[in-house]
């Protein structure tokens, strides 16, 4: 039996944000505020880098102490930028991944640093090729992208990235995953897949071994002294799977892949309405109502 909810970890794209991934709906905004008012810690858990995730909550006036698990668990900071945890990938491993994965799609690496001058957070080899495959992402992150050709040169200084990614069609990314699994580099790097079947787009995040949203959430709960039995996670994609498996209350969005919804049924997870139907708000409203009823009986 789980305890009264004290923390909810929520994915962004395909979960909390609207269909275009731009902003919170009014109903979701009010539900998050109501959860905070009830003493529940709201945690963002996203594949986005911190600088791309934080503005959504800054413009709505959320607490500077709100934790944001970014880059699929590689970095956790509060909204005001205070570092809580950070995990990096070896620059030598990243350099070798360039050659291994270049044949399958666009390869990008992320550094945990300020985007200024020639030291931007995202490095790619060919911006035109990047835009062709992931145009919306490339446009949204344009000011943080540095072009380095060949990509291997991005690691000449020895600076370690926090994560990488390779993007392309679903079929090509399945091949990329297989190539990594068969490579000695799999001992130093993990692959976390995100898929968008309607767009035939897949992104394989390349993470420091043993790092994920779920691992970062476990670390954060230790810092906050919150029991696992008092936690909930809401997500929609494969990169949410680890945290959904760990929390006491797992919620999958209705817009998730059929395979994930089958998994949810087997595990007894709740299914929320889709992100465009304010599924996060629906779940939080029901949870708050239930806990209020229990506290008065």
Same domain for 106 and 76? no
Q: Is 21 left (phi over 0), alpha (psi -120 to 50) or beta?
A: left
Tell me whether residue 281 is in a domain.
yes
State the pLDDT at residue 21: 67
Q: DSSP readout, the chain?
A: -PPSP-EEEE-IIIIIS-TTS----HHHHHHHHHHHHTTPEEEEE-SS-HHHHHHHHHTTT--TT-EEEEGGGTEEEETT--EEEE----HHHHHHHHHHHGGGSEEEEE-SS--BTTB-SEEES-HHHHHHHSHHHHHHTGGGEEE-SSGGGGGTT-PPPSEEEEEE-HHHHHHHHHHHHTSGGGGTEEEEEEEEGGGTEEEEEEEETT--HHHHHHHHHHHHT--GGGEEEEE-SGGGHHHHHHSSEEEEETTS-HHHHHHHHHHT-EEEPPGGGTHHHHHHHHHHHHHHHHHT-
Which of 191, 208, 225 delimits the end of a domain? 208
State the pLDDT at residue 55: 93
- Pair 251, 273: CB distance under 8 Å: no
Same domain for 77 and 98? no
State the pLDDT at residue 22: 78
Which of 208, 232, 263 delimits the end of a domain? 208
| pLDDT for residue 104 is more than 50 | yes
Same domain for 50 and 194? no
Tell me whether residue 1 is in a domain.
no
Which of 177, 208, 239 delimits the end of a domain? 208
Same domain for 71 and 98? no
Q: What is the mean pLDDT of residues 270-282?
A: 97
Q: Which domain holds residue 131?
A: 91-208
State the pLDDT at residue 1: 56
Q: How confident is the model at residue 292 (pLDDT cuts 50, 70, 90)?
A: confident
Q: What is the mean pLDDT of residues 96-119?
A: 85
Between 18-22, 148-152, 255-259, 272-276, the lowest mean confidence (pLDDT) is in: 18-22
Between 128-142, 190-204, 228-242, the lowest mean confidence (pLDDT) is in: 128-142
Same domain for 57 and 137? no
Tell me whether residue 216 is in a domain.
yes
Q: How confident is the model at residue 116 (pLDDT cuts 50, 70, 90)?
A: very low
Same domain for 196 and 242? no
Find, among 54, 22, 66, 46, the residue nearest to 205 by Cα: 46
Report how many domains make up the chain: 2
Same domain for 220 and 237? yes
Q: How confident is the model at residue 2 (pLDDT cuts 50, 70, 90)?
A: low
Tell me whether residue 50 is in a domain.
yes
Same domain for 191 and 261? no
Same domain for 276 and 176? no
Tell me whether residue 40 is in a domain.
yes
State the pLDDT at residue 160: 96
Q: What is the mean pLDDT of residues 128-146?
A: 82
| pLDDT for residue 65 is more than 90 | yes
Q: What is the pTM of this model?
A: 0.90
């Amino acid at each position: 039996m789980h305890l009264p909810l004290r923390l909810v970890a929520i994915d962004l794209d395909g979960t909390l944000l609207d269909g275009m991934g731009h902003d919170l709906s009014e109903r979701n905004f009010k539900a998050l505020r109501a959860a905070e008012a009830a003493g529940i810690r709201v945690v963002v858990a996203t594949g986005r880098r911190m600088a791309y995730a934080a503005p959504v909550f800054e413009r709505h006036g959320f607490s500077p102490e709100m934790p944001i698990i970014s880059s699929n668990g590689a970095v956790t900071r509060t909204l005001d930028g205070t570092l809580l945890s950070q995990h990096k990938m070896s620059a030598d491993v990243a350099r070798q991944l360039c050659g291994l994965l270049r044949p399958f799609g666009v390869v990008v690496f992320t550094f945990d640093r300020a985007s200024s001058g020639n030291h931007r957070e995202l490095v790619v080899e060919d911006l035109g090729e990047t835009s062709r495959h992931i145009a919306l992402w490339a446009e949204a992150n344009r000011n943080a992208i540095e072009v380095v050709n060949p990509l291997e040169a991005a690691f000449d200084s020895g600076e370690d990235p926090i994560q990488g990614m390779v993007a392309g069609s679903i079929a090509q990314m399945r091949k990329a995953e297989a190539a990594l699994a068969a490579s000695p580099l799999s001992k130093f790097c993990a692959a976390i897949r995100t898929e968008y079947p309607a767009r035939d787009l897949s992104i394989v995040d390349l993470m420091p071994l043993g790092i994920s949203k779920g691992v970062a959430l476990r670390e954060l709960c230790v810092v906050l002294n919150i029991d696992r039995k008092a936690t909930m996670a809401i997500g929609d994609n494969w990169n949410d799977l680890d945290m959904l498996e760990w929390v006491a209350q797992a919620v999958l969005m209705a817009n998730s892949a059929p395979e994930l919804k089958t998994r949810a049924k087997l595990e007894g997870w709740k299914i929320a309405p889709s992100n465009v139907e304010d599924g996060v708000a629906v779940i939080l409203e029901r949870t708050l109502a239930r806990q209020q009823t229990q506290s008065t009986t």
